[in-house]
Amino acid sequence: MSGAPPSIGFKLEESIFRSDSILISGTVKDDIGLDRIEFVVNGEVYRNAAGDTVQIRPVSAEQVRELPFSVTLPLRVGENQIAIVAYDRDPVPKQSSHLETVYRRPPFYRQPLFWWSAALFLGLVVIAVGINEVLKRRVALVEKYNPYIAGAPIRNERMFFGREELLRRILNTIHSNSLMIYGPRRIGKTSLLHQVKKRLEKEQDERYFYLPVYIDLEGTPEDKLFATMMMDIVEECQRHLGDGLALRIFEASEEYTARDFSADVKRILSHLREHFGKQVKLVLLMDEVDELNSYSERINQRLRSVFMKTFAEDLVAVMSGSFIRKHWESEGSPWYNFFEEIKVGPISTEEALKLIREPVKGIFKYEERAVKKILEYSENVPYRIQKFCVNVVARAIEQRRRRITARDVEAVKARVLEGEEN
């Protein structure tokens, strides 16, 4: 018995491609039975990576008469001849073939138009960048652009250099210990506290919700200590507390005591735990705590008691001052052995160079001798570096220059170092 040759059901919707391969799918039918399907690409039988001929054979009784196929075939650039060849199981085997011609376009990046377009685009980019640089420099002179900060704490993260290791140490310790940051005046302790606050506000911790509160104790009288601290806490927490939370700080009273402070902290923490659904760490970033040295031992003991006994799990302090260490490291101090100590000193030369150059990169340029003199005179103290830089840039702007020289540094040296406390 001999039947008709296999019937190949396949048709390409498109004949022009840019891809380096083509997926072809279809069905082959035969009235008696199918043996296999093979593929020929540009005159050669298609083989797999092992060198074997790629064949599709029936794997069930149903596929013997109707065999689906799907295969990805490679394409070369230009014209391609693709043949699908089907073989049946007749006593006298017959075969059928279906031929398709497809064309593969070269990748876009190989076409001349692409290179002309790319060259034009890059040229326009270079011109635009050049124009932007020129405009930026002109605007910098006209607008008197001077990004350095001398005197005020550094709150802008882009202007904060050289303390990353200290920040990591603080953030890795703060969940379990209170810290004392000490060092000479104008070494950058206040700026460090502000950066700790910014980092904690971004912290995504599975266990804790960190709520940092910056508290400046400078000029705070002893009888206003706890009221000052609570007002700063309430101001920082207000967006989480909402209205209606009854706190003693809002009640008319002549004196706000440590006991009042503890009661209010307890209410605030309870509300925040319910609000966030996790444990709350209230982090008090207390600056200028040298003020505590002038307070009575009774007040210091009560403040310590708040941290040690009442809210040991919920409250942590990062205290900063210039002379606290020598007062508090004696065994008679209420704060003896309470803190982990962290010294703040000058920054590394590498970070000092970044602080000098990066804020005005592309606008003003420092001569090497100018940089060396700033490093020498500043002793790598960030405040002094900023003060030198703000003055030399101001001098360059005044003289409508973009290049900063060693002569500029020498010209401002006396003004920068005048009145410094050693």
| pLDDT tens for each residue of 390-419 | 999 999 988 888 899 999 999 999 999 886
pLDDT-based confidence at residue 77 (cuts at 50, 70, 90): confident
pLDDT score, position 412? 94
pLDDT score, position 140? 47
Mean per-residue pLDDT over the chain, rounded: 84
147-152+348-417 against 174-343: fold identical: no
Range from 49-53, 240-244, 348-352, 392-396 carrying the lowest mean pLDDT? 240-244
The two structure tokens encoding residue 251: 């009640």
Q: Of 196, 183, 201, 223, which is closest to residue 325 (Cα–Cα)?
A: 183
Mean pLDDT computed over 157-163: 85
Integer CA distances (angstroms), 122 to 115, 119, 128, 261, in order: 10, 5, 10, 64
Taking the domains of the chain in order of start, what are their residue ranges? 7-106, 109-140, 147-152+348-417, 174-343
The dihedrals phi and psi of 393, each to the nearest 5 degrees, come to -70, -40
C-alpha–C-alpha distance, residues 35 and 92, integer Å? 12
CB 339 within 8 A of CB 182: no
The 10s digit of each residue's pLDDT in 166-217 is 999 998 888 878 888 988 888 889 999 999 999 998 888 878 889 999 999 9
Specify the CATH number for 147-152+348-417; select among 1.10.287, 3.30.160, 1.20.1260, 1.10.8.
1.10.8
pLDDT score, position 143? 60
C-alpha–C-alpha distance, residues 247 and 265, integer Å? 9
The two structure tokens encoding residue 188: 């950058």
Q: What is the CA radius of gyration of the chain?
A: 38
The two structure tokens encoding residue 402: 């973009």
Range from 30-34, 148-152, 186-190, 242-246 carrying the lowest mean pLDDT? 242-246
The enclosing H or E element of 133 equals helix 112-142
Q: Of 268, 271, 338, which is closest to residue 307 (Cα–Cα)?
A: 338
C-alpha–C-alpha distance, residues 141 and 157, integer Å? 24
First to last CA, the chain: 112
CB 284 within 8 A of CB 229: yes
- Report strand pairing: 21-29 vs 7-9: antiparallel
Q: Of 212, 193, 210, 200, which is closest to residue 154 (Cα–Cα)?
A: 193
Q: Which carries the bigger pLDDT value, residue 123 or residue 259?
A: 259
C-alpha–C-alpha distance, residues 208 and 140, integer Å? 44
Q: Of 94, 90, 84, 97, which is closest to residue 33 (Cα–Cα)?
A: 90
The proportion of the chain whose per-residue pLDDT surpasses 90, expressed as a percent, equals: 31
In what order do the strands lie in the sheet containing 78-88? 16-17, 95-104, 78-88, 34-41, 44-45
What's the residue count for the chain?
Answer: 422
> DSSP labels for 186-252?
TSSHHHHHHHHHHHHHH---SSEEEEEEEEE-TT--GGGHHHHHHHHHHHHHHHHH-S----GGGS-
Superfamily covering domain 7-106: Immunoglobulins (2.60.40.10)
The 10s digit of each residue's pLDDT in 20-74 is 888 888 899 988 888 999 999 988 999 998 889 999 899 988 898 899 998 999 9
Residue 299 DSSP class: H
Superfamily covering domain 174-343: P-loop containing nucleotide triphosphate hydrolases (3.40.50.300)
C-alpha–C-alpha distance, residues 344 and 150, integer Å? 18
Biggest CA–CA distance in the chain, Å, is 116
